[in-house]
């Protein structure tokens, strides 16, 4: 009886792992660094760090049928980072930022109750960066 219960628990754990990994649309975070601070809500997300290396995937959710823009603001003291976004299953370039760079902008409008993924990928170790993304209603 104990073996059967152990097998059931193991199978349920595997199913849970696969179910949770399916929620990220194939984008997984795999990064290391120091002084990393992230904030995430359904329509805003940000990350700031002392040092960062790897990939960070974040998601935003358009909660209704309203037309929204993905606004962004970023700064980086040292290194090189590429940022992508995915709205309809296609990973698209958003911007690239390098040493002593800063950028602010917005995308074209999105419509529909959908998830928008933002993927940050570093080219080696980067220092002193701040990235923020938000969904704002189109006027």
Residues 6+ apart with CB under 8 A from 63: 42, 43, 113
Residue 9 lies in a domain: no
Residue 11 lies in a domain: no
Q: How many domains does the chain have?
A: 1
The CATH number of whichever domain residue 41 belongs to comes to: 2.60.120
**What's this model's pTM, rounded to 2 decimal places?**
0.76
In this prediction, residue 105 has a pLDDT band, given cuts at 50, 70 and 90, of very high
Range of the domain at 51: 27-137
94 CB burial (10 A radius; 0-12, 13-18, 19+): buried
> Which contiguous run of DSSP H or E holds residue 10?
helix 2-22
CA–CA separation, 133 and 44 (whole Å): 6
Residue 63 lies in a domain: yes
In this prediction, residue 69 has a pLDDT band, given cuts at 50, 70 and 90, of confident
Can you tell me the mean pLDDT for 81-102? 91
Query: Which DSSP category does 24 fall into?
Result: T
Of all residues in the chain, what percent are helix, strand and coil, respectively (each to 5)?
15, 60, 25
């Amino acid at each position: 009886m104990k073996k059967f219960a152990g097998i059931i628990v193991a199978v349920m754990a595997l199913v849970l792992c696969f179910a949770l990994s399916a929620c990220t649309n194939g984008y997984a975070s795999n990064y290391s660094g120091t002084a990393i601070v992230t904030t995430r809500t359904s329509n805003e997300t940000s990350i700031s760090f002392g040092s960062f290396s790897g990939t960070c995937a974040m998601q935003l959710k358009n909660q209704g049928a309203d037309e929204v823009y993905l606004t962004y603001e970023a700064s980086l003291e040292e290194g090189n980072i590429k940022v992508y976004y995915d709205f309809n299953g296609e990973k698209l370039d958003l911007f690239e930022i390098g040493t002593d760079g800063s950028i602010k902008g917005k995308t074209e409008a999105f419509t529909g109750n959908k998830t928008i993924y933002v993927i940050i990928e570093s080219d080696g170790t980067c220092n002193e960066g701040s990235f923020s993304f938000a969904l704002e209603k189109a006027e």
